[in-house]
Amino acid sequence: MPPKADINKAGWEQSEFPILCETCLGDNPYIRMSKQEYGRSCGTCARPFTVFRWNPGKGARYKTTVICQTCAKIKNVCQTCLLDLEYGLPTQVRDTALGYQSEAPTSDINREYYAQNMESKLEGNKSALDTGRAASAGKEMLKQLARTDPYYKRNRPHVCSFFAKGECNRGTDCPYRHEIPENNELSHQNLQDRYHGRNDPVARTIMSSHAETQGLKPPDDTSITSLFLTALPTTSTELSIRTCVLKSLPSIQASDLKSVVHVAKTRCAFINFKERSVAEQAAQAWANGVEIDGSNITIRWGRNKPKQPINAAGPSVATVGA
């Protein structure tokens, strides 16, 4: 008779091998891993899971899994670095390009309940992401940004905290890097933000750099909050343009749009946003174009109307004789 399952461990995860990207696995063909069942709580759903720890190569730091396999399958990411397994990019870049809106709860409430329900829906190692109907422009953007080769530099040892304080006396025997750490926004990443694809500084840097290479560098005039669409289909209307815009970027709400001005005669349109930050976010997401009524439309930043010169003499007034 099989032993009775522990009701307190319902939903806890057991696994034989982690879900890892090639970079985190390392260049060492003979990997030795330590395995600890229920070694820690998942960084996203808070359920205990099997933790793996290994050294990816000579001179590298030991790496460990930080999220459970269910959460990794839901977002199709590595259990350690939380980067997309197909493109090697942050989830915020991938989700923005594909127009994917995560349904996972971002607060502590119902996180475990959501993970248990998704676990029953997953088939094998298939991801819960539905990218089959993604716009071609978004997929093209991901292909351009994708990292095709492993980036083993990410496995380097951590910075030595004693060296940063000027107190390390181990010299070359110190297993940590003797460098002064940089204090910028890239050094303050949050695991939850990286996983859910929100407020990720690495993702913002990647998307802004890509937008600039596509000729979409934000204008210096911060009062410009509009994007210009050209060569629209003849069947496009103001309503269809607004619908496609909101659908292609779920993070933008209808309240973020100030107006949509469609000029049917010249087949162009202006998308006016209320905030400059939202306009920049849209420009980054649509760097390779946005799909409007089945066509991939190129976008450009709008321009302010030139100011009319003021006549110092004032308007001329005709005099009437008596």
Q: Residue 57 has which token pair?
A: 């190569």
| Helix H or strand E encompassing 280 | helix 276-285
- Identify any residues that bridge with 269 across adjacent strands, giving them in sequence order: 229, 262
Report the CATH number of the 215-301 domain.
3.30.70.330
Residue in the structure block whose two tokens are 């930043």:
301
| Rg of the chain taking only CA atoms, in angstroms | 26
Residues 6+ apart with CB under 8 A from 70: 13, 45, 47, 115, 118, 119, 122
Residue matched to tokens 């260049």? 27
- Torsion angle in degrees (nearest 10) through CA of 293, 295, 301, 307: -60
Instruction: Tell me the backbone φ, ψ of residue 72, rounded to 5 degrees.
Output: -65, -40
The predicted structure's pLDDT at residue 319? 42
Report CA-CA distances (Å) from 57 to 49, 109, 295. 25, 39, 47
> Which contiguous run of DSSP H or E holds residue 191?
helix 191-196
What is the distance between the alpha carbons of residues 92 and 258, in angstroms, rounded to a whole number? 25
**What was the pLDDT predicted at 146?**
93
The whole-angstrom separation of Cα 197 and Cα 106 is 11
Q: Where are the beta strands (DSSP E) in 232-316?
A: 257-263, 268-273, 290-292, 295-297, 299-301
Quote the pLDDT of residue 320.
Answer: 41
Query: How confident is the model at residue 134, as a pLDDT?
Result: 54
Q: Which of 248, 295, 298 is nearest to 138 (CA)?
A: 248
Q: Do 207 and 287 meet the contact criterion of CB atoms below 8 Å apart?
A: yes
Provide the pLDDT for residue 249. 85
Cα separation, 147 vs 129, in Å, equals 20
Angle at 108 between CA 285 and CA 115, to 5 degrees: 75
Rounded CA-CA distance 203/145 in Å is: 11
* Distances from the Cα of 198 to the Cα of 3, 68, 92, 233, 259, angstroms: 43, 20, 6, 33, 26
Provide the pLDDT for residue 321.
39
Selection from 152, 175, 155 nearest residue 163 by Cα: 175
- Ordered per-residue pLDDT tens for the chain, 322 residues: 344 556 556 668 888 999 999 999 998 888 899 999 999 999 888 889 999 999 998 889 999 999 999 889 889 999 999 999 999 999 999 999 988 876 666 565 566 666 666 666 665 545 555 555 556 788 889 999 998 888 999 899 989 989 988 899 998 889 899 988 877 766 677 888 899 888 898 999 999 999 999 999 999 999 999 999 999 999 999 999 999 999 888 888 889 999 999 999 999 999 999 999 999 999 999 999 999 998 999 999 998 766 666 554 555 444 443 3
Q: Return residue ranges of the chain for CATH 3.30.70.330.
A: 215-301
Q: What letter does residue 72 receive in the DSSP assignment? A: H
